[in-house]
Copies of this chain bind each other. A is one copy, B any other.
């Protein structure tokens, strides 16, 4: 079972790319830095719930969905 940072990073990237957003565009929408977004997607950051929440809002997805380990449709 992958660790939770890996699961989150994978789900976040999946939703970001599904929306056709670049890391830079997501950074702008979340008010986080582009390099921070990149490092989260590379599982280099132990992200906090407040930042997870910002990312979920920007992606229009339930926060819990970003931690779901199951294979996602679409």
Contacts and interface: CB of A to CB of B under 8 A. Distances in A.
Contacts of A63: 4, 7, 67
Interface residues of A, number: 21
Q: Chain A interface secondary structure, helix, strand, loop or mixed?
A: helix
A69 to B, nearest CB: 7
A4, A7, A64 pick with most chain B CB within 10 angstroms: A64
26 contacts: A3-B53, A4-B49, A4-B50, A4-B53, A4-B56, A4-B63, A5-B49, A5-B50, A7-B63, A8-B49, A46-B48, A46-B50, A47-B48, A48-B49, A49-B49, A49-B52, A49-B67, A62-B67, A62-B68, A62-B69, A63-B67, A64-B65, A64-B66, A64-B67, A64-B68, A64-B69
